[in-house]
Amino acid sequence: MSNSKVFGSTLIIAGTTIGAGMLALPIASAGLGFSTSLIIMIGMWALMAYTALLMLELHQHADHDATLHTLAKQFLGEKGKWIATFAMLFLFYALCAAYIAGGGGQFNAKLHNWFALDVSNGMGTLIFTVIIAAIVTFGTSSVDRVNRVLFTCKLVAMAVILFFLTPNIEPVHLVNMPLEKGLIIAALPVIFTSFGFHGSIPAVVRYLELDMKSLKKVMVFGSLLPLVVYILWQLATLGVVDQATLSQAGDVTALVGTLSQVIHNPMIAQVVSIFADLALITSFLGVSLGLFEFLGDSLNKNQSKSGRVVIALVTFVPPLCFALFYPQGFIMALGYAAIALAILAILLPVVMVMKSRQQHQETQAFTVGGGSLGLGLTLSMGIVIIGVQVLISAGVLPAIG
């Protein structure tokens, strides 16, 4: 397998993971303190990297173009297939609708500010969606090429932000302890969702033609890169702003304003805005690619030009309609994204691997370490994350982020 395709696949995984939600991490972690949030982030990275490897273990017993829909049916039957289908569609359509709503607004603003073009919000959103849809419809290779450029630009913007913030870090801010013990538990779903990339795994598996050696590198390093970026981002933001002030920043706009005031440089707001745009687009590309491949498999559509156009319409039209007419409904649904992601990225892979190991004991070329204990602990963690999100939704635990 060529190093270029491996590198590109690694960036697809990393780009899908590092979305615009990264900007909300400091707000979500404000009440925790840096050290506590660091421990949780490392734990969530290890959890998600482990389950990504479990997905590869499953793929070795399936066709190279199998999606989660196919895997669930193969190992869990019709019930498993429908659970996977519902969770996947709920999560991905909700994410795509949110990305279209947010990205369309940002795209419209850029058209106005950079090119003096005044178009309606709806038209700007439509143009933005068509551009992304065209890239995804051309295939994983086109997503790879575009994502490389955008991801590089995103890292440059990140470096500029850190350049301005790092000199203003005060060590006293980094030793803060959690304001409330309940916040430690409540932060689990927020940080967990920031490491979600599993919907893109089948597309990458197909792109690398089930080359297990390359895929293992992609999953580990593709998920490790976001962890490094997150740690640097948390170090800079939590070290620059005191805990009380950061806890009062209710949204990303307030966070950007606070950072600009602290370092006395309005340029930071522009750079963060560009970074947010790039983070949103790269994440949208990865998520929509995963949904596109999933729907193509579910609908049994051929890969001809007309077939891919039909899949693209089914992929992008529903979230576009909701983003245009009912944005608040889908944005609210994102509050439950952790539940769908926990089902897709933890519960289903663990249960399917249990079944797979029973069926393929003699032909298992690649087995993730940890044995039954590892699978049991992973399954328990998924149940805990779902339970915490349910308690947050019920008002029992505080909502953060």
pLDDT reported for residue 9: 92
In a domain, 400, yes or no: no
Nearest CA-CA partner of 331 in 45, 16, 24, 14: 24
171-to-33, 158, 241 alpha-carbon distances in Å: 12, 21, 11
| Secondary structure tally for the chain: helices H, strands E | 17, 0
pLDDT tens digits for 271-314? 877 887 888 888 889 889 888 988 887 776 666 788 888 999 99
pLDDT reported for residue 184: 78
Helices of type H across 265-401 = 267-298, 305-325, 327-333, 337-342, 348-359, 371-393
Instruction: Label each residue of the chain as H, E or C.
Output: CCHHHHHHHHHHHHHHHCCHHHHHHHHHHCCCCHHHHHHHHHHHHHHHHHHHHHHHHHHCCCCCCCCHHHHHHHHHHHHHHHHHHHHHHHHHHHHHHHHHHHHHHHHHHHHHHHHCCCCCHHHHHHHHHHHHHHHHHHCHHHHHHHHHHHHHHHHHHHHHHHHHHHHHCCHHHHHCCCCCHHHHHHHHHHHHHCCCCHHHHHHHHHHCCCCHHHHHHHHHHHHHHHHHHHHHHHHHHHHHCCHHHHHCCCCHHHHHHHHHHHHCCCHHHHHHHHHHHHHHHHHHHHHHHHHHHHHHHHCCCCCCHHHHHHHHHHHHHHHHHHHHHCHHHHHHHHHHHHHHHHHHHHHHHHHHHHHHHHHCCCCCCCCCCCHHHHHHHHHHHHHHHHHHHHHHHCCCCCCCC
| CATH number of the structural domain spanning residue 272 | 1.20.1740.10
In a domain, 401, yes or no: no
The count of structural domains within the chain is: 1
22 neighbors 194 (Cβ within 8 angstroms): yes
In a domain, 399, yes or no: no
The DSSP-derived string for 289-322 is HHHHHHHHHHTT--SSHHHHHHHHHHHHHHHHHH
In a domain, 250, yes or no: yes
Q: In angstroms, rounded to a whole number, what is the distance separating the alpha carbons of residues 97 and 316?
A: 9
pLDDT reported for residue 376: 96
Per-residue pLDDT for the chain (401 aa), expressed as one digit of tens each?
Answer: 678 899 999 998 998 888 766 777 887 787 788 888 899 999 999 999 999 999 999 999 888 778 888 898 899 998 888 988 888 888 888 888 888 887 887 788 778 777 777 778 788 889 999 999 999 998 888 898 998 899 899 889 888 888 888 888 888 888 877 666 667 788 888 889 889 888 889 889 989 988 899 999 999 999 999 999 899 888 888 888 887 777 776 656 667 677 777 777 777 778 877 887 888 888 889 889 888 988 887 776 666 788 888 999 999 999 999 888 876 665 566 667 788 899 999 999 999 999 988 887 767 778 888 899 999 999 999 999 999 988 888 888 876 65
In a domain, 17, yes or no: yes
Look-up: residue for tokens 């969702």?
193
pLDDT tens digits for 72-93? 889 999 888 898 888 888 888 8
Domain that holds residue 197: 3-393
In a domain, 251, yes or no: yes
Angle between the N-to-C axes of helices 121-138 and 68-115, in degrees from 0 to 180, rounded to the nearest 10:
130
pLDDT reported for residue 132: 94
In a domain, 94, yes or no: yes
pLDDT reported for residue 301: 63
In a domain, 221, yes or no: yes
